[in-house]
């Protein structure tokens, strides 16, 4: 996490980078020229957050502070620093290639977070987790887990019914799910039943009670979500096709600081971003080297756009107007000069099969003079 404070107090300007964990946070301080000044670890308590802020302030006037994982491990520290008037910037964790090249520990990660802020690579504003949007996020997370657990319980209940004894299974064959969970929750175990039947009834009753409990929890969470979303974004709910859960997803993505940064509140333009004003001077000076071609003279067309000149007598190119060829039937000279014997087999396809003199000679030797 990177924290950024702009002030005019005495001392040099410093940048703080924080590598966040569950139990401890490691902070590192660099100056505005990138020189490493100091680093230290602090516990993840309210007193530890204040110690981190006092320690960084003692090294200089805090210019920027960067914090990793502002939505999880660094959420509490981000809230503490924001309440103290500190500008916090979110820093992405180091990629695998950089970790393999530079190593990985708390000290290296903290300095890397501060260097990213100094280089301008960390400009994201952390989400504000002190408003109603954070409450909507927690309720949505709880509801999603309850819905998933209820679906898994239903699957387990149907799987137990499939393998249940036939006498027990036939009792609940035609019941709907709404009626099935109520009947199974009130099911009693007979004293004279078999061990498998007794155990199956006990499991079905427990699964049905679990489904009922999860359904009550989901209904209560839906009621809380309806109240919070309606109070937070009533205009969004008035849109056609947007319900409570869809609006809750939108609010979680935008968070409570949606209008703090124009990049968050407005969509990105489809065209390419223009350069900043003042980056280039309006009156561009003349080039030191004059143009080789006068501006009035047009550039010749590219050679690929010029038509290709084909020589008509080129051996590998077809002629412009080739003469049409008339197909001529292929005939063997022997079959044209000698009469065709009646005992010889006629070919099925005259175009591709022709008698040769050797075939005629073998046929005469096989049939003798009877052929003629």
Percent of the chain scored above 90 by pLDDT? 40
Question: Is the pLDDT assigned to residue 264 strictly greater than 70?
Answer: no
Q: What is the pLDDT of residue 146?
A: 96
Which pTM value belongs to this model?
A: 0.60
68 and 146 housed in the same domain: no
193 and 114 housed in the same domain: no
How many residues appear in the chain?
372
Secondary-structure percent of the chain, ordered helix, strand, coil, rounded to 5: 45, 10, 45
Position 352 in a domain: no
Strand 61-68 to 87-91 pairing: parallel
At residue 129, the 3 state secondary structure works out as: coil
Domain boundary among 64, 94, 118: 118
Q: What tens digit of pLDDT does each residue of 317-371 get?
A: 555 565 666 666 665 555 455 555 666 666 555 554 556 666 766 766 666 555 4
330: which 2 tokens?
A: 């292929």
145 and 46 housed in the same domain: no
Most confident listed range (72-81, 126-135, 263-272, 336-345): 72-81
Q: What tens digit of pLDDT does each residue of 299-317 get?
A: 666 655 555 555 556 556 5
Distance CA(60)–CA(65), nearest Å, equals 12
Domain boundary among 189, 221, 254: 254
Strand 2-4 to 87-91 pairing: antiparallel
Contact partners, residue 119, CB within 8 Å, separation at least 6: none
321: which 2 tokens?
A: 């107007």
Question: Domain range for residue 6?
Answer: 2-118
Evaluate the CA torsion angle 177, 183, 186, 189 in order and state its sign.
negative
Q: What is the pLDDT of residue 337?
A: 52
At residue 233, the 3 state secondary structure works out as: coil
Evaluate the CA torsion angle 215, 216, 222, 226 in order and state its sign.
positive
Q: Residue 76 is part of a domain; what is its CATH number? A: 3.30.420.40
Distance CA(9)–CA(60), nearest Å, equals 9
148 and 241 housed in the same domain: yes
Distance CA(126)–CA(70), nearest Å, equals 6
Residues 139-156 have a mean pLDDT of: 96
Q: Is there a contact between 229 and 251 (Cβ–Cβ < 8 Å)?
A: yes
């Amino acid at each position: 996490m990177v924290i950024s404070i702009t002030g005019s107090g005495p001392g040099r300007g410093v940048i703080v980078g924080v590598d966040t964990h569950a139990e401890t946070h490691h902070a590192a301080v660099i100056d505005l020229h990138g020189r490493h000044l100091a680093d230290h670890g602090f516990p993840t308590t309210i007193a530890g957050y204040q110690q981190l802020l006092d320690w960084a302030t003692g090294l200089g006037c805090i210019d920027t502070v960067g914090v990793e994982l502002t939505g999880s491990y660094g959420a509490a520290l981000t809230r503490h620093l924001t309440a103290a008037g500190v500008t916090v910037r979110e820093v992405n964790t180091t990629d695998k290639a950089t970790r393999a090249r530079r190593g990985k520990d708390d000290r290296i990660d903290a300095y890397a977070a501060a260097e990213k802020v100094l280089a301008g690579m960390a400009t994201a504003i952390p989400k504000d987790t002190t408003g109603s949007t954070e409450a909507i996020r927690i309720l949505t997370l709880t509801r999603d887990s309850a819905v998933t657990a209820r679906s898994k319980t239903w699957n387990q209940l149907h799987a137990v019914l499939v393998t249940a004894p036939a006498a027990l299974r036939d009792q609940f064959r035609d019941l709907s799910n709404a009626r099935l969970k109520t009947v199974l929750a009130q099911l009693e175990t007979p004293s004279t039943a078999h061990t498998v039947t007794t155990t199956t009834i006990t499991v079905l009753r427990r699964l049905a009670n679990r489904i009922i409990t999860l359904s009550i929890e989901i209904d209560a969470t839906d009621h809380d979500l309806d109240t919070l979303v309606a109070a937070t974004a009533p205009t969004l709910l008035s849109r056609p096709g947007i319900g409570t859960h869809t609006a809750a997803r939108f609010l979680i993505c935008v968070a409570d600081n949606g209008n703090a940064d124009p990049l968050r509140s407005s969509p990105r333009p489809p065209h390419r971003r223009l350069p900043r004003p003042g980056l280039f001077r309006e009156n561009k000076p003349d080039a030191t080297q004059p143009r080789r071609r006068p501006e009035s003279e047009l550039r010749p067309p590219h050679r690929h756009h010029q038509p290709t000149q084909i020589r008509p007598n080129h051996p590998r190119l077809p002629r412009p107007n080739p003469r049409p060829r008339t197909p001529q039937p292929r005939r063997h000279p022997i079959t044209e000069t000698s009469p065709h014997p009646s005992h010889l087999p006629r070919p099925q396809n005259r175009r591709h099969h022709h008698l040769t003199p050797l075939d005629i000679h073998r046929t005469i030797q096989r049939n003798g003079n009877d052929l003629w």
